[in-house]
Structure formats: C-alpha cells, structure tokens
A and B are shown apart, each in its own frame.
Chain A
Amino acid sequence: MNILSLFVLIPLLMLAGLWLARTLNQVRGVMVTGASLLLAAAVWLTVAYIGQRNAGAAQEMLFTDSITWYAPLHICYSVGVDGISVAMLLLSAIIVFTGTFASWRLQPLTKEYFLWFTLLSTGVFGFFISTDLFTMFMFYEVALIPMYLLIGVWGSGRKEYAAMKLTLMLMGASAFLLIGILGIYYGAGGDTMNILELVKRDIPYDMQRLFFPLVFLGFGVLGALFPFHTWSPDGHASAPTAVSMLHAGVLMKLGGYGCFRVAMYLMPEGAAEWGNFFLVLTTISVVYGAFSAVVQTDLKYINAYSSVSHCGLVLFALLMMTRTSCTGAILQMLSHGLMTALFFALIGMIYGRTHTRDIRQLRGLMRIMPFLSVGYVIAGLANLGLPGLSGFVAEMTVFVGSFEHPDTFHRTCTLIATMSIVITAVYILRVVGRILYGTCTNEAHLKLTDATWDERFAVICLIAAVAGLGIAPLWMSNLISESVAPVIAQLLGHAL
C-alpha cells in the first residue's frame, strides 16, 4: 500500500473508532491516538520526502500511485506529493492535532462533533494527496459538507444563518469548479483526469480562456477572494473553536492550493490572459481586508478580515507568477494557517471564559489570564510580521518576489499590497491594547482562570511551529521553491 493512503486511512479508522467509542475518554483516546499518528506520519513523510530528493529523485511528484476507480470517465485514485503538498500535509496534521486539544472539553455531543471533525480532516488530507482532478474534487466536497453541521450545531450566535451562507457560497463556487474541471478534462482530450498527465496535454487556448476563470474563482472563493469573501467573517464568527482553526488554518488553503495546482498549472495561457484581472481583485482583498479589520469590534470578525487580507496575499503572490513570489505564497499559506489557528484557538479559549468577543467589553485580561494573553500577543506579533515568527518570512518572500516585475501595473499592485503591513499593525495593536492591557473592571471577569493543561498544550505546539518556521525558514523555503519550479516553467513556457 502506498504510504500516502495512510493519510486517508487513519482518519477513516478514527471514524470507525469514534463510532465504537462509548465513553468520553474513549472518544478522546481515539482522537489523540489518531491525530498523533497523523502528525507522526506527516513528519515522517517530510523527512522521507527530503531524503528522497537529496538522494536525487527528480520526478515532479514522489510516492505516486494510481488505482482506476471508474474507468469510463478515467477517474482514478491517484496520489502523489511534491514539496507543496508535503508542507500542506504537515500543516493540516499540526492543526488537526492541536485542534483536538483545543476542543478537549467541548460539550455537548462530543462524539458526534469529533466524527464530523474527523470526516472534515479526511477530506482535507485526501485533497492534498490527490493528483486526480475528480478525486480531488470529491475530497474537497467531503471537507465542505461537515462544516455545515459543525457550525450549525456546535456554533454560536447566528449559527444557522452563518452555516447556510458559508455552505451555499462554497457550494456555489464548487459548481463553477466542477464545470471547470470537466472543461479541462474534455479540453485535454478526455482520456485522463490525472494532473501529471493533463499537464503534458495542450488544452486549446479558447477553452483555457473560458475555464480558467471558472476554476480560479471556484477555488478563489474558498481562499476568500474579494468580493466573494463575506462567508468568512460570519462563518468564522459562528464556528466553534477547533472548526475555526481548521477552517482558517487548512480549509482556506485548499483554495490557494487549488488555484495554483489546477488553475494555473493546467491552464497557463488562461492564467496569462486573466492574471491581471484577478490580480486587481486580490490586491483589493489585501488592503480591503486590512482596512475593514481596523474598525471591527468582534474578535473573530477582526481575525476573519485579517484572514481575508492574508489569504488575499496568497492569491496575490500566486498571480505574480514568479518563482519567488509563488514560494512566498505557499509559505504564506503555511504561516497564515499556523498563526490563524493559534489566533482562533486563543479567541475560542477567551470566549469560553468570558462569553463575549466584543472588544469593548473586555479589558485587562493580561492580569487575569496571563498565559492566554501572552499567547495572544505572540499570535498578534506573528500576524503583523515580526521577524523570528513565520509571518515575516512569508511576507518578505512575497514582496521580494512580486517586486521582480518591473512594469508599472505589477509594481503599483505590489506597493499597494505592502501598505497592508502597516494597517495590520494598527488593528493588531488596537486589539492587544484594548483587551489585554489596562485594568479589568468587570467583576465577573476577575474570577476567571487561566488556560487548562490541554489548552496550554495546543497553544504551545502552535507557537513552537510559528516560531520554528520563523527562525529557520531555509529548509521549508527550499522544499517549496523546488516544487514551485515546474509550475513556473509551465507558466513561462506558455506566456512567451
């Protein structure tokens, strides 16, 4: 059996285990075992992957395998990974692992919650290992649907509305996506769904021009592309902690990954044709999200808009289409995933205690819950791009890469996007100053306690990952950069 199938198999076994679990401790046991195994598998895969590369493996994807699944439409269960997917798998494993601990004390219906949570993870992992368009799409849908229930049942606030809105918008986008995928399939001759095969075919220019925007938009909505980002604030605000983490941390990355791997890789001429149009949208996302975050009063809304800005930067960097900027985009996906998960975890923990996320009602939390507050400051600093934490590495790679375009249009976009780093500082420090510093006057809040061991563990793991990437980015950057190269070659080859 292929090693990659473990990433689907383990969650499936976890589902079975959860099904059988009778007590809360059994549920937790299954989750911790499964999540640890996934994390171990991801780490092992990373090491093995780098090992094989160093040993001279030159194929574009490693650990490939393919099993035909539905012959008439050439649908196969094809898997394979390159540096980008390895990075994403590692990210997903870390988020699932820490998410498990972040929802340790979740009530009620703990078992059902974890069932859907695990199903969602299955979709995410399956998506990142797939190289077959249809299988990829299927896993994508598997990841989307549980979100509806997770928000609708375990959420807070206007949860039904938020769940419905999120699901409808993302399903609407995936309708575009399906058309796009079929377009690619037939455009390339209609005899394979495998990305590695498709890329060798020449999809006619007319079809690329038609289907590129559909696919890009289909994935872009998930990556919070302006003006289709409005599911994100409501969705995040209503989702329970670990779901927000998984959603912002991993699910939104499916968008960027798909745009890169499917839309741009398979339809380079379409990308050349439509690149500038989408670049404008993403530039707007970057600045617009940041400015909108400045005046929000709900902690999760602030972070959701911040995600719009940061995920906008991912798509922005991808559309710059240079090797450095695309490497930066993947780094940004990784970095944003980790730090936003950290943020949402902390917000969830604070909300769980104070029962409010309104920054006007929170004050002086530093004295009351020092651990969570320090974590929040660190997450904030990572978000505003402090060197030594992951945000800086990603942003700098993006900006240096984007600056490689000397023409006025690209350069203007780049300069506008760099403005976001100042605005980010404004909204982050505003929140930190407002809720953590000062003196708490709310009697009820004064009695609250600091993080429990499971919460501490989740937060520490995430901080370690954020700092690790920020302090020693070289290996990750090399890992990604080398896998970005074929896509860039493809883009350049057709743009000329």
Chain B
Amino acid sequence: MDFTLFILACPAVGFLLLALAGMRMSHRAAGLTGTLLMAVTTVLSGATAWRFFTAARNADGVLPAQIPFNVEWLPLGGSLHIDMGMLLDPISVMMLVVVSGVSLMVHIYSLGYMKGERGFQRYYAFLSLFTFSMLGLVVAANVFQMYVFWELVGVSSYLLIGFYYTRPEAIAASKKAFIVTRFADLGFLIGILIYGYYVGTFSFSPSQEGLMRGGMMLPWALGLMFIGGAGKSAMFPLHIWLPDAMEGPTPVSALIHAATMVVAGVYQVARLFPLYIGYAPQVLHMVAVVGVVTAFYAATVACVQSDIKRVLAFSTISQIGFMMVALGVCTSVLPHEGGLGYMASMFHLFTHALFKALLFLGAGSIIHAVHSNEMSTMGGLRRYMPVTHITFLVACLAIAGIPGFSGFFSKDEILAACFAYSPVIGWIMTFIAGMTAFYMFRLYYGIFWGRENKALHEAHRPHESPLVMTAPLMILAVLTLAVGWMPFGHFISSDGEAYDIHIDATVASVSVIVALIAIALATWMYARPQQPVADALARRFPALHRAAYRRFYMDEAWLFVTRRIIFRCVSAPLAWWDRRVIDQFMNFMAWSANACAEELQPVQSGKVQSYTLWFLGGIVVLTLVLLAC
C-alpha cells in the first residue's frame, strides 16, 4: 500500500480518536494528538509532492498523474458508480501541500489561541474532521467523490463556525453558512446528475464518445456545477455567508474561510478546466464576469468595514474573485496562447493561502491581545506586538503586490492574463488591485498606527502573543517572502508542460505604480492619529458610506427572500393548509360518518308501532314498484 493513503488516514484517525475519547483526555493531550497527527500528514504530503514533482516527465513533457488507489463505493446502475479514490496530479498535489501545511500551522497556533477554552478537544476533533474532508476533496478522483467531501467540508465548516454555540450570532452564522452553501450545492448536484447521465461517467476525464454524447448538455452541467463552486467560494451574490462565518474562532477563519475551503470553487473550476475549455468556453467567460463583479464588490465593501475580520473576509472574497477571473479569461489550454490564467490562478491560490492565513492568524493574535475585533479598540499596537506587526506588514505588502513579495508574482500573472484577454478587464482588475492595496493599508494603519485607543490600552495593556502563536506567524511570513520566487510554472501549467514565468514589464510597472499610489493614499488618510480626510469623506457621502458599511444591503435582500417568501408565503400557508384543510377534511369524514349514525339511530327506536309503520310503508312501496314494472 502506498504511503499516500495515510495522508487521509491520519486526520481521520485523529477525528475519531478525539471525538470518541477526547472528553477523557486533557486539553494538552488532545491538542498534541491532533497536532502530531497533522504533522505526520504534512510530512507525508511534502514527501508526496517531492516524489511527484521530481518524477520523470512523459514524452510530451507532462508529469504523469497517479492513482494510488481507487475502490468502488456505491454502484448507481449502468456504467455509473461512485468511487473513492486518490488522484495525484499537479494541482491536487499542490493543494495537498497547501491544505496540510496551513492546517498544521493552525493546529500549532490554536494550542496557544484556544488555550483554556471550553470544548478544546471538540475544537481539535473538528479541525481534524475538516482537514480530512478537505484533503479528500482535493484528491478526489471523480466528481461525485468531490461532492461527497464537498458536503463534508461544509459540515465541518458549520460545526466550527458554530463552535461558540452559546452565542446567538455564531448559531445564526453557522446556520446561514450551511444553508446558503447547501442551496448552491443543489446546483452542483444537478450538474453532476446531468454530467453523469449524458457523459455516462463521473470521471474527470471521460472518454471521447462520452463527451460527444454529452455535447450540448455539457455547458449546462458545468454551469450548474459552477453554482456549487460559487457558493463555496463566496462569489457574488452567494457570498453572504462568508462575512458572518467570522463568528468562528479566528484560526478557523484562517484555515477554512481564507486559505482552503473557500478556494474549493476555484479548485473545482481548475479541476474541470479541460472540459470548460473544450466544450463550454462561454461558461468559462461567465465565470470571469462573476469573478470581476465579486472582486469589485467585495473590495468596495472592504474599504469601510470596521471589524478587522470582516475586512479580511471581504478581502478574501475579492481575492477569490481574482482567481476566478484568471481562470475565466483562459481561451486555450496552451499557456502561451491564452492559457496563462490557469497557472496564474493556481499560483495566486497558493500564495494567497499563505499570506491570507498569515493575515488571519495575525488578526487572531491582535484579537487575543485586545479582546475585540473592532478597529476602534486598536491603533498604535506596533509598540506592543512587534512580531505580529512585522509579519502582518509582510502579508499586507504581499497582498498589495509589492515586488519581491509572493503576491506580486501571482497577481502580476493574473493581470497579464486579463490584459491578454481584454484590456477592459485588465484595467478593471488593475484598479481593484489598487483598491486592495488601499484597504489593506487602511487596515494595517488602523491596527498598528493611526488613532490609538489609549484609554483602553492603559486599562489593559496589550501584549505580544506566546511563541506557540508567533512561530506560525514567522514561518508563514518567511514563506510569503520566499514562494514568489519559485518557478511555479514548472510545476503547474494549463497543459501540464513546464512553463517559464516571465514578468511582463509593462503590466508589472503599471500595477506596482497603482499599488504604491494606493498605499500612499492610505498612508495619507489613515497613518496619523487625526484622520480629517477619511472622516470628511464619510460625512460627505453618508448614504454611500452606510450602504457600503451594510454591504450594499445584500443580507437584507436575502433575509427578505428567506423570511418573507419561504417562511411566510410558502411554509406557513402550507402548514395551515395541511392542518386546516386536508386534516379537517379527514375529520369531516369521521364527523359525517358519526352524524349519519346519529341521524339513523332513531330508526332503531325499539317501538313496535314505528317498526310496523315502516314495514307497511315498505310493502306499499315495493308493491307499487313491482306493479309499475
């Protein structure tokens, strides 16, 4: 048996162990069990990646995909069956490394962050469950297996968002996250049904005849599957669950709602990329449009939020929009002729996972210190928390796209791909990249410089977090600095062949200039204790500010649909109808039987006179009838 199987087995064992025996373990034992098993998984993932990427390439220069195991799990008639397998190809191996690596960091970090929390063992059990599901999702060998694990990550996300289950906000947020993604998953499921029926398999690489049969229906299948992906990846207008999901513990936000689960939608599109390019390019371009809208919308909202986790959440939505756009603007599988976006998207997924996890863990460290998410309780924290400050700054520079930091390289590829497809999209995305730099530095200054909440900090002096929390920050910061320089195109490209990344000088200089202007603007507006410009703007455009702060009322719109329409206009009348009409009809039947009996009962009066009368009457009637015949 191949050792890769243990990548999945370790977190699964961890989950079972902690779920069944966790309450008998001490916090320390439970945390270490989860973390150690995760460390094993990470090492095995690393080994897998090493073995995979150093293997000999095929004759056409492609790294050979491997399927270490594949078993039939559930037969579904005809040629259809759900298999449980493990597919190793460049993107799944990359995701293995990302997921297990970030998960390990979060496991270590949580030892400090969650220390002494009630339900510590449960927390680690859920983290293991999530990691298992996510790893299962990325190595899925067929689309139905992907759906199976897709649902499992949804549930682990639900459980972790609702970790503080006594808080009403957390309960509402977890419910919302699950139901919104479930709604989107319905699209995914129907897409799979169509795909399975017309193509005749759930495999990612169906036979040529299957594709011919699928033909016309394939765009529908892919489009519907994308709805599932859009739900999980918080694409507009299905993004509403993600900002609320920040009610979960911060390390969870870092792992699930920033680095891994929310990019599942991007991963899904990338996984099905050959089908999109070959049979449904129009759907792919729709993906791009959705990505642009989402990226822009989320960036706008991120500029005015005051809760640091919300800012990061909208930033995540916006960045995932970037990845979607990059995939969407592809026009061919050849990296040199319109297939650049594929590599760019995966590259950005990779770098984003690192620096966004870093940002969230940094935010966790800050929240740990000031016990609040609100920016108004922060300001001037650089003096108290040097490590968090520097690592956070590194991540901000990376996401803003400053040369040398990882975000620069991947974002530059995305912009290049956009410009190659359409200058309009290119300029829009460059502008959004500028907004990204702006809101990230607004956040950075708001936390570490700007208006300091001196009164609060006197009363409760913020302190740097313990080493178990800062160590992951430092590791991630180093990685954020380093990974941009790796030859990513050698490992992953749209046709699988090695591709040399070269920086497009024009695009790069434009984007860097835009980013620098945005940072300068943010510095001018937010770096000092007095912020006249920002306040004046908020006063000058109160409606716009409020609308953006309330996320352009998207949540209210959804609430209207669910509360008013589904609850009030569908369910309540149906329930009323059931009780008052259908059930009453049954009662009416019973009542009428009863009433008839009541009416007929006097006939059996026991009086001989009336019996005689009836008897005579009967004879007369019968006689008349017989005579008439």
Question: What residues make up the interface of A, taking CB atoms closer than 8 Å to B?
Answer: 164-165, 168-169, 227, 230-231, 288, 291-292, 294-296, 322-324, 327, 364, 366-367, 381, 384-388, 392-393, 396-397, 399-401, 403-404, 406, 414-415, 418-419, 421-422, 425-426, 429-430, 433, 436-439, 473-474, 477-478, 481
Contacts and interface: CB of A to CB of B under 8 A. Distances in A.
Contacts of B575: 291-292, 294-296
Contact of B590 (A165, A294, A392): A165
Contact of B178 (A367, A404, A414, A429): A429
A291 B74 CA distance: 30
Contacts of A419: 186
A478 to B, nearest CB: 7
Given A386-B155, A421-B182, A438 B166 contact: yes
Interface residues of B, number: 49
5 contacts: A230-B586, A294-B567, A387-B152, A429-B179, A433-B162
B151 interface: yes
Contact of A437 (B162, B570, B578): B162
A446 to B, nearest CB: 14
Contacts of A474: 72-75
A478 B72 CA distance: 12
B566 A294 contact: yes
B175 A429 contact: yes
Contacts of B571: 291-292, 294-295
A396 B76 contact: yes
B47 interface: no
A339 B540 CA distance: 58
B178 A168 contact: no
Contact of A436 (B75, B165, B574): B165
B558 interface: no
Nearest 10 A/B pairs, CB to CB: A324-B77, A437-B165, A294-B571, A387-B148, A230-B583, A403-B193, A295-B571, A400-B76, A425-B182, A433-B171
B116 interface: no
Given A165-B590, A422-B179, A438-B165, 19 more contacts: A291-B570, A291-B574, A294-B567, A296-B575, A385-B151, A386-B155, A387-B148, A388-B152, A392-B148, A400-B80, A418-B193, A421-B189, A422-B183, A430-B175, A433-B172, A433-B174, A436-B165, A474-B72, A474-B75
B206 interface: no
B75 A481 contact: yes
Interface string B147-176: 011011001001000100110101110110
Given A292-B571, A386-B155, A418-B190, A437 B166 contact: yes
Contact of A426 (B165, B166, B179): B179
A327 B77 contact: yes
A403 B151 contact: no
A158 to B, nearest CB: 12
B187 to A, nearest CB: 10
A438 B164 CA distance: 9
B622 interface: no
Nearest to B578: A292
Contact of A169 (B78, B151, B586): B586
Contacts of A295: 567, 571-572, 575
A257 B566 CA distance: 34
B97 interface: no
B582 interface: yes
Contacts of B152: 386-388
B196 interface: yes
B197 interface: yes
B74 A393 contact: yes
Contacts of A322: 77
Contacts of B254: none
A384 B77 CA distance: 23
B82 interface: yes
Contacts of B183: 422
Nearest to B172: A433
Contacts of A436: 165
A391 to B, nearest CB: 11
Contact of B166 (A364, A384, A403): A364
Contacts of B148: 387-388, 392
Interface string B242-261: 00000000000000000000
A438 B151 contact: no
Given A387-B148, A419-B186, A433-B171, A425 B179 contact: yes
A426 B183 CA distance: 10
Contacts of A414: 193
A422 B77 contact: no
Contacts of A401: 76-77
A399 B189 contact: yes
A381 B182 CA distance: 13
Interface string B552-576: 0000000000000011001110110
A288 to B, nearest CB: 6
Contact of A403 (B165, B170, B196, B586): B196
The residue in A366, A396, A401, A436 that gathers the most chain B C-beta atoms within 10 A of its C-beta is A396
A400 B193 contact: yes
A405 to B, nearest CB: 10
Contacts of B175: 429-430, 433
Contacts of A426: 179, 566
Contacts of A425: 178-179, 182
Contacts of A164: 590
A422 B182 contact: yes
Nearest to B71: A474
A366 B73 contact: no
B171 A323 contact: no
Interface string B434-451: 000000000000000000
A400 B182 CA distance: 18
B73 A403 contact: no
A436 B165 CA distance: 9
A388 B150 CA distance: 12
A393 B80 CA distance: 14
Nearest to B186: A422
B193 A477 contact: no
Contacts of A384: 182
Given A400-B196, A439-B166, A386 B151 contact: yes
Given A403-B193, A421-B186, A433-B175, A324 B76 contact: yes
Q: Which of A367, A381, A399, A425 counts the most B-chain CB atoms under 10 A from its CB?
A: A425
B74 A473 contact: yes
B155 A381 contact: yes
Contacts of A231: 586
Contacts of A230: 578, 582-583, 586
A438 B182 contact: no
A401 B158 CA distance: 30
Contact of B193 (A292, A385, A399): A399
A404 B197 contact: yes
Contacts of B162: 433, 437
Contacts of A478: 75
A163 to B, nearest CB: 13
Contacts of B570: 291
B138 to A, nearest CB: 16
Nearest to A419: B186
A426 B582 CA distance: 24
A438 B165 CA distance: 6
A202 to B, nearest CB: 28
Contacts of A406: 197
A165 B594 CA distance: 13
**Residue from A327, A474, A481 whose CB has the most chain B CB atoms within 10 Å:** A474
Nearest to A440: B166
Contacts of B196: 400, 403
A361 B133 CA distance: 36
B74 A366 contact: no
A425 B76 CA distance: 24
B82 A415 contact: no
B147 to A, nearest CB: 8
Indicate the member of A168, A288, A291 with the most B CB atoms within 10 Å. A291
